[in-house]
Structure 1
């Protein structure tokens, strides 16, 4: 059954921020606890028309901010090998998809495809003998472009 399109002016419930999956090169990575920094800025360039004292603004380049991924520390070396490879000069660009699900967690409602991402920062877990928390690491990813899909979509294709 097709989902009804909201009518203008009709109240629409916002999506919940806790039901998401992260895919790297099309493979689901289920240990991620938080994604932050999903944003970009379009530069504003001043333009003065000849014979006119009014300044107009035109759009310039798009600046994509790094995305930070937080994840529980496990014995898996996949993320560490990706970050460490970049630190040693072997940058492996990967396509990352962030899929947001409905409140029940059963239907994908939005997907952000982060194109040609590569790690720019790694932060190890804070360790404390008095804490009873999960050990959380994080990485920051630089990327070239961002796409948005609505409804059930597929991950961006890897570019190696």
Structure 2
């Protein structure tokens, strides 16, 4: 008998990526897209002078994270990103904790990225076209000092 899907558990299906939320401090901000949740370890190559093999060994080095890029619609009198960016001065920016959560169908967090010491490094305003029919979207690029991942 074929499985009609009525008895399947949530563990069978991967989560869709379209239901998420972003919070900085205690404020929730509606973004349309979040990318750049990357982390990698640089490989260090080493060979001792008295090694009997004629090749290098590799070991883990420093951890490197990429900037997080987020896109959101432009709303009337919503200057929160621009105000935060305006606070940037030489080494005196107010860093914020970001929480990015992937939500299940009930709106509960299932996978949570907790970003430490985030601050904006680039903001791009929307492009303007007289014959366009799209929503105005602005982009912010966030630098940070790493993140942790929690699964609910």
Runs of 4+ with deviation above 6 angstroms: none
The aligned counterpart of 2:140 is: 139
Deviations 1:26-51 (A, max 9, x none): 32112x10001110221000122442
Alpha-carbon distance in structure 2 between the residues aligned to 1:131 and 1:83: 28
- TM-score after normalising by structure 1: 0.80
Which ranges of structure 1 fall in alignment gaps of 5 or more residues? 7-11, 152-160
Q: Aligned with 1:130: secondary structure?
A: coil
The aligned counterpart of 1:100 is: 102
The aligned counterpart of 1:76 is: 78
CA contact (8 A) 1:34 1:69 kept: yes
Which ranges of structure 2 fall in alignment gaps of 5 or more residues? 1-8
Displacement, 1:100? 0.5
Displacement, 1:97? 0.7
Alpha-carbon distance in structure 1 between the residues aligned to 2:109 and 2:51: 53
Displacement, 1:105? 4.6
Give aligned pairs, total: 140
CA contact (8 A) 1:26 1:96 kept: no
Displacement, 1:5? 9.7
The aligned counterpart of 1:125 is: 126
Alpha-carbon distance in structure 2 between the residues aligned to 1:113 and 1:26: 13
Alpha-carbon distance in structure 1 between the residues aligned to 2:21 and 2:10: 24
Q: Aligned with 1:149: secondary structure?
A: strand
The aligned counterpart of 2:61 is: 60
Please say which structure displays the higher CA radius of gyration.
2
Alpha-carbon distance in structure 1 between the residues aligned to 2:139 and 2:10: 37
Q: Aligned with 1:38: secondary structure?
A: coil
CA contact (8 A) 1:19 1:105 kept: no
RMSD: 1.8
Q: Aligned with 1:15: secondary structure?
A: coil
Alpha-carbon distance in structure 1 between the residues aligned to 2:34 and 2:44: 31
Alpha-carbon distance in structure 1 between the residues aligned to 2:127 and 2:94: 27
